[in-house]
Amino acid sequence: MRERAIALPLPHCGPKGAPQVSMDGFPHAMTSTPKTSALMARGAQFLGVEHAILCGAMSWVSERNLVAAISNAGCFGVIACGAMTPELLDKEIAGTKALTDKPFGVNLITMHPALFDLIEVCARHKVGHVVLAGGIPPKGSIEAIKAFGAKVIVFAPTIALARKLFRSGADALVIEGSEAGGHIGPVSTSVLAQEFLPALAADHIVFVAGGIGRGEAIASYLEMGASGVQLGTRFACASESIAHPAFKQAFFRANARDAIASVQVDPRLPVIPVRALKNKGTEEFTAKQREVALALDEGRIDMGAAQLEIEHFWAGALRRAVIDGDVESGSVMAGQSVGMVSQEEPVVAIVERLMQESEDALARR
Quick one: 146 and 265 in the same domain?
Answer: no
298 falls within a domain: yes
Question: What is the pLDDT, as a whole number, of residue 17?
Answer: 35
State how many domains the chain has: 2
Per-residue pLDDT tens digits for 345-355: 999 999 999 99
**CATH number of the domain within which 168 lies:** 3.20.20.70
Share above pLDDT 70 across residues of the chain, in percent, rounded to a whole number: 91
Residue of 59, 89, 50, 25 whose CA lies nearest to 312: 59
Quick one: 253 and 237 in the same domain?
Answer: no
d(CA 196, CA 26): 28
Task: Tell me how far apart the terminal alpha carbons of the chain are, to the nearest angstrom.
Answer: 34
| Angle, CA 131 vertex, CA 75 and CA 261 arms, to 5° | 90
67 falls within a domain: yes
255-273 per-residue burial string, b: 16 or more CB within 10 A, e: under 16: eeebbeebeebeeebebbe
Quick one: 199 and 282 in the same domain?
Answer: no
Quick one: 348 and 275 in the same domain?
Answer: no
Quick one: 260 and 359 in the same domain?
Answer: no
26 falls within a domain: no
359 falls within a domain: yes
Per-residue pLDDT tens digits for 265-317: 888 776 788 999 999 998 888 899 899 999 988 999 998 888 778 878 887 89
Please give the average per-residue pLDDT across 115-120, as a whole number: 98
Could you give the dihedral angle defined by the CA atoms of residues 332, 334, 340 and 343, in that order, rounded to the nearest 10 degrees? -40
Quick one: 186 and 50 in the same domain?
Answer: yes
- One-letter amino acid for residue 245 of the chain: P
42 falls within a domain: yes
- Which segments within 118-204 are labelled E, that is strand? 129-133, 151-155, 172-176, 182-183
The residue segments making up the domain with residue 275 are 245-337
In whole angstroms, how large is the CA radius of gyration of the chain? 20
Quick one: 155 and 134 in the same domain?
Answer: yes
d(CA 127, CA 105): 6
> Residues 202, 309: contact at Cβ < 8 Å?
no
**Axis-axis angle for helices 64-72, 347-363 (nearest 10):** 40
d(CA 312, CA 280): 18
**Does pLDDT of 41 surpass 80?**
yes
Quick one: 173 and 41 in the same domain?
Answer: yes
Quick one: 227 and 349 in the same domain?
Answer: yes
d(CA 144, CA 123): 9
Please give the average per-residue pLDDT across 149-164, as a whole number: 98
Q: How far is CA 60 from CA 3, 114, 195, 301, in A?
A: 25, 19, 32, 28
16 falls within a domain: no
Quick one: 249 and 134 in the same domain?
Answer: no
Quick one: 95 and 204 in the same domain?
Answer: yes
Quick one: 221 and 308 in the same domain?
Answer: no
Instruction: Lowest mean pLDDT of 1-10, 92-101, 156-165, 334-343, name the range.
Output: 1-10
Per-residue pLDDT tens digits for 230-240: 999 999 999 99
pTM of structure:
0.89
141 falls within a domain: yes
69 falls within a domain: yes
Question: What is the pLDDT, as a whole number, of residue 270?
Answer: 66
